[in-house]
Amino acid sequence: MNGSSSRARGASGPATEPLEAHIPGLRRYAYALLRGDREGADDLVQDSLERALCCWHQRRTDGDLRGWIYTILYHRFVTDRRRQRRDLGHRSLTEILEAEQPGVEGGQEGALAHRDLLRGFAELPEEQRSVLLLIAVEDFSYRETARILGLPIGTVMSRLSRAREHLRQHMNGDRIRVRQPAMTVT
């Protein structure tokens, strides 16, 4: 018996049971972070769970398991995003735009409103989207969200407020105004 097989056998026992309860929420969060990419979300969750099991001995036993695993998932997401940005030069602009377009087909008003909400959500900067997902969808408190994302609580509140306002404007059909730098006269 080598060390890796006994470690894997130990990790498949009691360590997996508490993590399994969090998988549906992790999948929702990853799916939303990745703007509807189910396969990518499943891969992200799997990578995060694998990392959690590998680092199980490093977790604080008195700490919040839910917050710990969501932090791992978010950090994996950020790392993957940075890697994708470095590799962006290999894809055409059309491929990038098509990959990021969320879509919900349907002829009913509810389906259209859902599509509009998803589009508005997809337009949010990643920082605002992450905060909104954790608080509104996954039901984390402001304090827990701040800890997961490694931010001051005031920053979490500010990002949440801006995200909600952006979605409100988007759903009302208001044009989102982008701040233009002031012109200087010479």
Residues counted in the chain: 186
Gap between the Cα atoms of 39 and 58, Å rounded? 29
Report the CATH number that the domain containing residue 124 is assigned in CATH. 1.10.10.10
**Residues 38, 84 share a domain:** yes
pLDDT at 89: 58
Gap between the Cα atoms of 68 and 3, Å rounded? 26
How does pLDDT run across 125-174, given as a tens digit for each residue?
999 999 999 998 888 999 999 999 999 999 999 999 999 999 888 888 77
Residue 66 lies in a domain: yes
**Residues 83, 2 share a domain:** yes
**Residues 66, 5 share a domain:** yes
Residue 114 lies in a domain: yes
pLDDT at 9: 39
The answer to whether residues 37 and 31 touch, using CB atoms and an 8 Å cutoff, is yes
Instruction: Record the pTM.
Output: 0.57
Residue 98 lies in a domain: no
Distance of CA 64 to the CA centre of its chain: 19
Report the CATH number that the domain containing residue 69 is assigned in CATH. 1.10.1740
The answer to whether residues 61 and 18 touch, using CB atoms and an 8 Å cutoff, is no
Judging by beta carbons within 10 Å of its beta carbon (0-12, 13-18, 19+), is residue 164 exposed, middle or buried? middle
How does pLDDT run across 15-49, given as a tens digit for each residue?
678 888 899 999 999 988 888 788 999 999 999 99
Q: Which of 56, 91, 126 is the last residue of a domain?
A: 91
**Residues 118, 51 share a domain:** no
Residue 65 has pLDDT above 70, yes or no: yes
> Mean pLDDT across the stretch 51-63?
84
pLDDT, the chain, mean: 78
Residue 105 has pLDDT above 70, yes or no: no
**Residues 76, 43 share a domain:** yes
Distance of CA 132 to the CA centre of its chain: 9
**Residues 168, 131 share a domain:** yes
Domain that holds residue 19: 1-91
How does pLDDT run across 71-104, given as a tens digit for each residue?
999 999 988 888 877 766 555 556 655 665 555 4
Gap between the Cα atoms of 127 and 125, Å rounded? 5
Residue 99 lies in a domain: no
pLDDT at 46: 94
Token readout for 23 is: 């998988």
Gap between the Cα atoms of 10 and 23, Å rounded? 20
Token readout for 75 is: 């950090």
pLDDT at 8: 40
Residue 96 lies in a domain: no
Q: Which of 91, 123, 146 is the last residue of a domain?
A: 91
**Residues 115, 87 share a domain:** no
**Residues 151, 113 share a domain:** yes
Gap between the Cα atoms of 118 and 101, Å rounded? 9
Alpha-helical runs (H) found in 3-123: 3-11, 16-20, 23-33, 38-54, 65-86, 93-99, 109-123
**Residues 113, 76 share a domain:** no
Q: How many domains does the chain have?
A: 2
